[in-house]
Amino acid sequence: MTKFSDMNLDPKVLKAVAETGYDTPTPIQDGAIPPALEGRDVLGIAQTGTGKTAAFTLPMITLLGRGRARARMPRSLVLAPTRELAAQVAENFDAYAKYTKLTKALLIGGTSFKDQDKLIDKGVDVLIATPGRLLDHLERGKLILTDVKIMVVDEADRMLDMGFIPDIEEIFKRTPFTRQTLFFSATMAPEIERITNTFLSNPAKIEVARAATANVNIKQSVVMFKGSNKTKEPAEKRALLRALIEAEGPACSNAIIFCNRKSDVDIVAKSLSKYGYDAAPIHGDLEQSHRTRTLESFRDNKLRFLVASDVAARGLDIPAVTHVFNFDVPSHAEDYVHRIGRTGRAGRTGTAIMICVSRDEKNLSDVERLVQTEIPRMDSPVGNAAPVADVAAAPEPSPAATSERPKRTRTRSRRSSDDRPAAQAPVAVAAPAEVPAEVSAAVEASAPKPQHDDRNRGGRGRGNNDRGRNDQRIVGMGEDTPAFIAMSFEERAKL
């Protein structure tokens, strides 16, 4: 069996690896490190949780052992799809390069441009970045990639899902043609294959597992769920999640709960907290400092449940996660593999449980088609009884309450609600009796003119208030021209 000591790695790197407790490389590391050390391009395909980060970090540190970085010109570049994955790569670099003098910079969103510019100006050996923030620095003229000798693209299929492929192509064009490229992905979509054919030169292809396969150490299951009605289904689904957690008992020491929508992440986390579960949300709309604190708490076992969107589905290396709960069936089948890959890492066993409602059955079929196996169905822990409704996070109005609520009309009455009668019943209005013409004229002259609201008059604008009155339209002043208007200027001056 191959060991790290058998590879041509720098002794300082081997010392750091030994201190982490690893001595035997994983299959992707065993296949990728030797050709990378030879300077060849590498195309690595492996499921998540197999040690891809070390597969490119260890040879990169060894190859950069000689040389010195210049200001604004990094010697190597690592691209990651999310801030969390980029930060994790930076942590791995710090652990494995602790006995070297190599420097790094982490360019991610949510942090200060000024601080990042200071690091770049000093010159860094390794630049770890997300594509968006990297392009921001390039467009500001703060960064030059013409000295990049090693370029790494990690989680390329996630880059595709997030729409980063045009950015990746632009970044590739700004790097030297002679660079060495290490390209890693869990799946090989046609677009990913096109990129590799364009920018990689005769790569060593290492495929240690069939693309999009789940770790055999993970016990998978799915609960088919149908709510009592559409209105109550979200609350009943959250109640089912709590029942599933309780059914796992002490074996569920911690877990990541995945939702498809960011709004659901917040709702589920709030619901779990209300019922006494130690839970916190993480998704792309949260401040970076908040996301970092939440992840650190989860890593340090200070937080039991991490409720996440797919921003956390890739690259989070938290070895001791015992369970993954898919609150929703993922919209993209590939995301299922990455979600459940957060458990069962580093040879451990794990459990992945998914809740599937009727509208998600097509997505479930896509997942099973991708992994080429039928996910075992499990009985609901709540049986046939409807789960207890959860109204903590997002109260849903009952149908009765909805029916009792008065309907709004298109226009509002100018009177307050206190002025309205208790019941509005149709009232028959009698035809007015004939009124003498002189009395009618006197009343009309003394009555205040009605206030017209042009907004509700269907396009009848200003100046049309007299339209439709006896079907006549007054032009000018008619025969009632005031006498002073007919006066000459001299006559008016004498007044």
What confidence tens digit (pLDDT) does each residue in 174-189 have? 999 999 999 998 778 8
Mind spelling out the 3-state secondary structure of the chain? CCCHHHCCCCHHHHHHHHHHCCCCCCHHHHHHHHHHHCCCCEEEECCCCCCHHHHHHHHHHHHCCCCCCECCECCEEEECCCHHHHHHHHHHHHHHCCCCCCCEEEECCCCCHHHHHHHHHHCCCEEEECHHHHHHHHHCCCCCCCCCCEEEECCHHHHHHCCCHHHHHHHHHCCCCCCEEEEEECCCCHHHHHHHHHHCCCCEEEECCCCCCCCCCEEEEEEEECCCCCCCHHHHHHHHHHHHHHHHHHHCCCEEEECCCHHHHHHHHHHHHHCCCCEEEECCCCCHHHHHHHHHHHHCCCCCEEEECHHHCCCCCCCCCCEEEECCCCCCHHHHHHHHCCCCCCCCCEEEEEEEEHHHHHHHHHHHHHHCCCCCECCCCCCCCCCCCCCCCCCCCCHHHHHHCCCCCCCCCCCCHHHCCCCCCCCCCCCCCCCCHHHHHHHHHHCCCCCCCHHHCCCCCCCCCCCCCCCCCCCCCCCCCCHHHHCCHHHHHHC
Higher pLDDT, 314 or 322: 322
pLDDT bin (cut points 50, 70, 90) of residue 315 is: low
Q: Among 28-32, 176-180, 213-217, which is the least confidently predicted range?
A: 213-217
pLDDT bin (cut points 50, 70, 90) of residue 67 is: confident
pLDDT bin (cut points 50, 70, 90) of residue 356 is: very high
From 158, 279, 203, select the one nearest 41 (Cα to Cα): 203
Indicate the burial class of 100 (C-beta count within 10 angstroms; 0-12, 13-18, 19 or more).
Answer: middle
Tell me the pLDDT tens digit for each residue of 433-481: 444 454 444 444 444 555 544 444 444 444 444 444 444 555 555 556 6
Q: What is the average pLDDT across 350-374?
A: 93
Q: Is the pLDDT of residue 359 over 90?
A: yes
Most confident of 343-347, 426-430, 482-486: 343-347
Q: Is the pLDDT of residue 488 over 90?
A: no
pLDDT bin (cut points 50, 70, 90) of residue 493 is: low
Q: Report if pTM > 0.75.
A: no
Tell me the pLDDT tens digit for each residue of 124-136: 999 999 999 999 9
Average pLDDT, the chain: 81
CATH fold of 4-207, please? Rossmann fold (3.40.50)
Q: What is the average pLDDT across 396-401?
A: 43
Instruction: Output the pLDDT for position 84.
Output: 85
Q: Among 74-83, 147-156, 286-295, 367-376, which is the least confidently predicted range?
A: 286-295
Q: What is the average pLDDT across 291-311?
A: 90
Determine the angle formed by the axes of helices 11-20 and 52-63, rounding to 10 degrees. Answer: 150
Higher pLDDT, 28 or 67: 28
Instruction: Output the pLDDT for position 415.
Output: 42
pLDDT bin (cut points 50, 70, 90) of residue 495 is: low
Q: What is the average pLDDT across 414-420?
A: 41
Kindly report the CA angle at 313 between 291 and 90, in degrees rounded to 5? 60
Q: Is the pLDDT of residue 253 over 90?
A: yes
Q: Is the pLDDT of residue 290 over 60?
A: yes
How many alpha carbons fall within 13 Å on the CB side of residue 109? Answer: 15
Q: Among 56-70, 202-216, 320-334, 408-422, which is the least confidently predicted range?
A: 408-422
Q: What is the average pLDDT across 85-100?
A: 93
pLDDT bin (cut points 50, 70, 90) of residue 68 is: confident
pLDDT bin (cut points 50, 70, 90) of residue 101 is: very high
CATH number attached to the domain at 218-393: 3.40.50.300
Q: Among 155-169, 368-382, 428-442, which is the least confidently predicted range?
A: 428-442
Q: What is the average pLDDT across 80-94?
A: 91
d(CA 479, CA 308): 79
d(CA 86, CA 107): 8
Instruction: Output the pLDDT for position 421.
Output: 42
Q: Among 86-95, 244-253, 424-433, 475-484, which is the least confidently predicted range?
A: 424-433
Higher pLDDT, 298 or 157: 298
Domain residue extents for the chain: 4-207, 218-393
